[in-house]
Amino acid sequence: MKIEYDCIPCIYRQVLEASRMAVGENRKIIRDILNEYARMIPDITDDDSAPEIVTRIQNYIKQKTGKDDIYLEFKEKNIKAAQQYYPTIEKLVKSSEDPLLSALIMSAVGNSIDAGVSLNVDIEDNVKRAIENGFSHSDYPFFKEQLSNANSILIIADNAGEAVFDKLLIQELLKYKVTLTYAVRDKPILNDVTRKEAKNIGIDRYCSLISSGCDTPGIVLKNSSKEFLQIFSNADIIISKGQGNLEGLLDESRPIFYLLKIKCDVIAKRLNGGLKTGNFVFKYY
């Protein structure tokens, strides 16, 4: 998905947040980082995607501050919070009329834990609202139809906190006797889950775990590894989690199920169907 002009100030806010997380209130370093982003803006082309721009400036922040994993403490905090809710959500999912649908909804709730939009995340509130409202758009019936004939599924992971809830989705999908692969980020970028964190959460106990090869906060196929591209091309079903992955993949020809919380009007408009910011979505595109 090509970058929109509305993305530019959103990335600016993210750059400011990341800078403060890295150096506190060191105004000189923060100013240097903001100036660097400002210098980048004239070079942004209509062919760029938001994940690519974010990667360029985040790599500069890492270089400038000497911190390779700026969001480490934020990720650890949200993983811990998600783990505290996990037993309750597991019970809710397994006792529901349709555990797979419930697991998909809870996996989307986990997508609310996103530093790309806000560092202030109320997990409990997001869980309550998701249970009450469910998906604003759901292609679940078609997904079930596809699942009945599928042999392999690729889940493209997003942030570290939501990976805790993804375990429930993985367990439900495995009941359909499919081969399941879970793709994570190759290097730390924003609060996206890496292989190390996925292993600590225990994802690898349920399915195959691979790195996408990307260091972008969202899959960009031209930057992905051969291993990932092969699995991406051959999987019977792909579930892409989060807005960053959607931004990286939406213009690709491969049909994908997108599972996310819409976090800005740009994405709501692009997905059509009267969707709004804040909606939980499971959409085949």
Rg from Cα positions in the chain: 18
Using one digit for the tens of pLDDT, what is the confidence trace for 32-57? 999 999 999 999 999 999 999 999 99
- What mean pLDDT is predicted for residues 138-146? 97
What's the pLDDT at 129? 67
Percentage with pLDDT > 90 across the chain: 80
**pLDDT for position 82:** 86
The pLDDT of residue 94 is above 50: yes
Residues 210 and 236 sit within 8 Å (Cβ to Cβ) = no
Q: What is the mean pLDDT of residues 251-263?
A: 94
The predicted structure's pLDDT at residue 59: 97
Where is 154: in which H helix or E strand? Answer: strand 152-156
Condensed to tens digits (0 to 9), the pLDDT of residues 263-275 reads 999 999 999 889 9
pLDDT attached to residue 144 = 97
- Percent over 70 (pLDDT), the chain: 93
So what's the pLDDT on residue 243? 93
Amino acid at the residue 173: L
* pLDDT value of residue 186: 83
Q: What burial class does residue 255 get, using C-beta atoms within 10 Å of its C-beta: 0-12 exposed, 13-18 middle, 19+ buried?
A: exposed
**Residue 267, token pair as written in the block:** 């994405």
Please give the residue that has the higher pLDDT: either 180 or 81.
180
Please determine, for residue 250, whether its predicted confidence score (pLDDT) is greater than 70: yes
| d(C-alpha 205, C-alpha 214), whole Å | 23
How many CA atoms lie within 13 Å of 179's alpha carbon, on the beta-carbon side? Answer: 7
139 has pLDDT over 50:
yes
Place of tokens 């169907």: 273
Q: What is the mean pLDDT of residues 215-230?
A: 95
pLDDT over 60 at 155, yes or no: yes
Give the up-direction half-sphere exposure of residue 43: CA atoms within 13 A in the CB hemisphere. 9
Check residue 88 and give its pLDDT. 85
Q: What does the pLDDT read at residue 159?
A: 92
pLDDT band at 84 (very low <50, low <70, confident <90, very high): confident
| Tens digits of residue pLDDT in 112-138 | 655 444 455 566 666 666 767 789 999
Taking residues 149-162, report their average pLDDT: 96
Query: What average pLDDT does range 242-260 have in this prediction?
Result: 95
How confident is the model at residue 134, as a pLDDT?
86
